[in-house]
Amino acid sequence: MTAESLTRPAPRTAEDILARAKALVPVLRERAGEFERLRRLPADVVELMRGAGVFRMAFPREFGGPELTSIEQTEVVEALSYGDTSAGWCTHIGACTGLYASFIAGPTAREMFAGLDLVTAGMLFPVGRAERVPGGYRLTGRWTFGSGVTHSDWVISGAFIYRDGKPDPSPDGRDPHDSRLFMVPRADVEVVDNWHTTGLAGSGSCDYTITDVFVPEERTLAFDTVHGRPSPLTSAESFMRTIPGVPLGVARAALDHVREIVRTRVDRATGVPWADNWRMQTTLAECEADFTASRHGVYGTMREQWELLSAGLPVPVELQAALPLARLHAFRTARSIVTRLYDLMQTGSIHRSGPLDRWLRDTTTMCQHLLAQDRILQSAGAHLLGGTPEFRLCLGITS
């Protein structure tokens, strides 16, 4: 990324944003060790990412945003993850800002997001407490896994609602304890410096606390109420669609890294090039086959779903299950690919100065995410069989 590139006009198309993201890869690769040491993305790198337009991807056109499709956004996340896993992960999180804007009334959203390159982080699950007061709520709580909270502009947090100290039911009476999402400025948030992990160290996914902060009613939201023009991006489950770009980007990086090594090495004992070694050939071929199948599974199901949503057509049960399954498979396949390549390179893999060690730890850590767990298998299987899914939202079910 050159000084000249930072003075270019803000990107407005998917092609421009993707090109700028790819241009950042050498910087991210070079500084990946620094991200791990800091346990966050440095401010100057975040600014480079803002300049590339990766955080504005989901802003709708009526805001002046590029409104990239889910497929286009995932390609950008994949490109950045090819450079560094934590950068890709934080892009997936931070680029949701434009989505949140669609669920906030227009005047308030335009006031909050005067610029399109703002970053929102936070935890959506309702673990906080929001007491109703005139004009809004008093929000208190502690949330975990606030990926990107260390460089965010806004923090979104889920909380249960109380009225006069008692659980407040939903307006329709269907839920005995209502919950909402609350947007607060980063200045009102206290970050807990506890992100010491196996991998994804640079994501700064710390716990954070909010203590008795007033949140106006208009800065709260629920995903069942879209303000403005509905689109496939505002449909259920849209907040998880880009995340498979992270494992796909890492797996592709590991494959390219090892293939380049194998092409240039010769066995010291026999003088046989590694490229002619049967084990090298078959392992790389198997990993390539798994990667290709997994990547096509992600983008193929995403494209099918997008086409149906764009046409206003219902998404069939089989496709509702296919996308979370493809996503889970991408996580697990990336870990499998990196592990096999790590073993293939043997002692050449074990040094922390090399990327394979980092990719092994990153893929191990990302596979602990809910979206890579057996709970997703159960939910998809139950949905296909007409049973009861444990995690309905992963299937795009909100009621």
Which pair of structure tokens corresponds to residue 212?
């008795």
State pTM to two decimals.
0.94
- pLDDT recorded at residue 5: 47
Q: Write down the pLDDT at residue 395.
A: 64
Task: Tell me the mean pLDDT in the region 228-243.
Answer: 84
Among 374, 305, 394, 293, which residue's Cα sits nearest to residue 334? 293
How sure is the predictor about 4, in pLDDT bands with cuts at 50, 70 and 90?
Answer: very low
Q: Which two tokens stand for residue 340?
A: 């096999």
Pairing of strands 154-163, 120-133: parallel
Question: CB count, 10 Å around CB of 9?
Answer: 6
- Answer whether residue 399 shows pLDDT above 60: no
Q: In sequence order, which residues have a C-beta less than 8 Å from that of residue 221 and are 6 or more positions away?
A: 100, 103, 104, 180, 181, 183
- CA quadruple 345, 347, 350, 353: dihedral positive or negative? negative
pLDDT for the residue 104:
95
DSSP state of 67: -
Q: What is the pLDDT of residues 286-340, one digit of tens each?
A: 999 999 999 999 999 999 999 999 999 999 999 999 999 999 999 999 999 999 9
Residue 122 has pLDDT above 70, yes or no: yes
**Pairing state between β 120-133 and 206-216:** unpaired
Cα–Cα distance measured from residue 28 to residue 296, given in angstroms and rounded to the nearest whole number = 26
Residue 391 pLDDT level (bands cut at 50, 70, 90): confident
Is the pLDDT score of 166 beyond 90?
yes
CA 74 to CA 244: how far, in whole Å? 7
DSSP 116-183: TT--EEEEEEEEEEEEEETTEEEEEEEEEEETTGGG-SEEEEEEEEEETTEEPPPTTSS-SS-EEEEE
Predicted confidence band at 161 (pLDDT cuts at 50, 70, 90)? very high
At residue 3 the predicted structure's pLDDT band, cuts being 50, 70 and 90, is: very low
pLDDT digit string (tens) for 185-229? 999 999 999 999 999 999 999 999 999 999 999 999 998 889 978
Q: What is the separation, in whole angstroms, between the first and last Cα of the chain?
A: 45
Give all strands (DSSP E) within the chain, no chain letters.
120-133, 136-146, 154-163, 166-167, 179-185, 190-192, 206-216, 220-221
